Amino acid sequence: MVSTQVKIFNSGADYLEPTDSVNQSLFPLTARVNAEDHLEIGGCDVVSLVERFGSPLYILDEMSLRTACQQYQQALNQFYGGLSQVIYASKAWNCLAVCGIVASEGLGFDVVSGGELYTAIQALDKLGINPQDNIYFHGNNKSIPELLLAIEHDCTIMVDNWAELQQLASWSQKNIKIMLRLTPGIECHTHEYIRTGHLDSKFGFDPNDLDALFKFVSERSHLNCVGLHAHIGSQIFECQPHQDLARLMVSWQQKAISYGLPISTLNVGGGLGIRYTEQDDPPSIHQWVELVSKGITSACLELGLSLPKLMIEPGRSLIGSSCVTAYTIGSSKTVPGIRKYIAVDGGMSDNPRPITYQSVYRCAIANRMSAPLTEEVTVAGKHCESGDILIRSARLPETTAGDILVVMATGAYNYSMASNYNRLPRPAAVIVKEGEANLILRRETYTDLLNQDLFPERLLEKE
């Protein structure tokens, strides 16, 4: 599948360039401009959604999310000759509705905390799906209560380090299904904070410990080690690191088998990037899956091994492009000869990625999609923080207070990293499909902000 070539934009409507792969689209797949010159997603007018649900507002396109799930599974069926499973890296956005949609498409879950684990369990329960073989519990510092919750529901523990492995080994009365996370030492060009495959990482066992690790596990029959896991990072556009990883993991599998471990599964992680700007050109979902599948297949052929069950863990590329965030523009400020600021009613509390990772986004004015782009402005958030800047060089029409600004590709790590900084309530989220909008996360209220607050009685006592 060939990546869509995106043209230079002259108006907001030009962002709606068709694409075959969800991760290559700036907007959700159902986005269009309606007769009112308003942005429409999932058959719902974005301006009307803001009038109904308020702003900031996350707008999740159900069709785009389902299509991404299907594209991953179709690609595995097409390119991989063995068993396979797609696991949603739910740290990208974990809530009941998102988990429910992903599970209904046949995907499993990668969870990294007790809260994510509990949410996934509850979503599966609503659908009548057993967590066993559908939830994989990651993390470099899992607590004992978290581990026990996972074991209680027959989830697979992705063991990250010796301390965790020794803790599990001490529970000899339990039959525990595990996979081992190894650090591959493979570098890729992405932000320092989201490179997880290089050796200097907090994640995974050092590959120099393989012999001791495999020997330790093989001597403990209650530890049912079924597979190996590795992950090289996030928002990756390169192909070579994944090819290197495939060869490396098959060699690890061969070594594990020599110790008598029944390694039948290789989990190569995720990391496929998405298009945040018109310059971004990530591989398509099909291209990425084909590359990984061929890498595992050729390595197994070389070493004379049967094809393992291949697991992949997409997160951002499943949900990132499926969502936009709608804001209402408020104040503006022009610094002569330097820049013009426009301020929106959200910012770093609903999207901390620009200030954390220097992430770049694109935006449009949802209530005037075809208006010519006549200004370059800086989109600022409303927080008391000079660094609360969502977009530094946004090309927009001349804006006025009350305009609806939409930021694209905000499905991954926006709500999941949202905070109450400056005591701002977190936004609402809706899911849209065929003209219907359903609230999936209600907007927090000021009362919600006080739910966990306590006021000691002694503070009422007079000195």
The token duo for 75 is: 């690609």
Do 363 and 378 form a contact (C-beta atoms < 8 A)?
no
Displacement of CA 379 from its chain's centroid (Å): 24
Q: Residues of 423-452 as b/e, b for ≥16 C-beta within 10 angstroms?
A: ebebbbbbbbbeeebeebbebbeeeeeeee
Q: DSSP secondary structure string, 60-96?
A: EEHHHHHHHHHHHHHHHHHH-SS-EEEEEEGGGS--H
**Stated length of the chain:** 463
The token duo for 154 is: 């027959």
The token duo for 7 is: 């043209």
The token duo for 281 is: 């050109």
The token duo for 283 is: 């591989």
Do 444 and 381 form a contact (C-beta atoms < 8 A)?
no
One-letter amino acid at 125 equals: D
How far is it, in rounded angstroms, from Cα 159 to Cα 175?
15
The token duo for 230 is: 């590795």
Q: Which of 431, 455, 328 lies closest to 95, judged by CA?
A: 431
Out of 44, 95, 239, 384, which one is annotated catalytic? Answer: 384
Do 364 and 37 form a contact (C-beta atoms < 8 A)?
no
Do 263 and 257 form a contact (C-beta atoms < 8 A)?
yes
Do 190 and 235 form a contact (C-beta atoms < 8 A)?
yes
Q: Is 384 a catalytic residue?
A: yes
Strands (E), 361-412: 363-365, 375-380, 389-396, 404-407
Displacement of CA 81 from its chain's centroid (Å): 27
The greatest distance separating any two alpha carbons of the chain, rounded to the nearest whole angstrom, comes to 81
The token duo for 229 is: 């896991």
Active site residues: 384
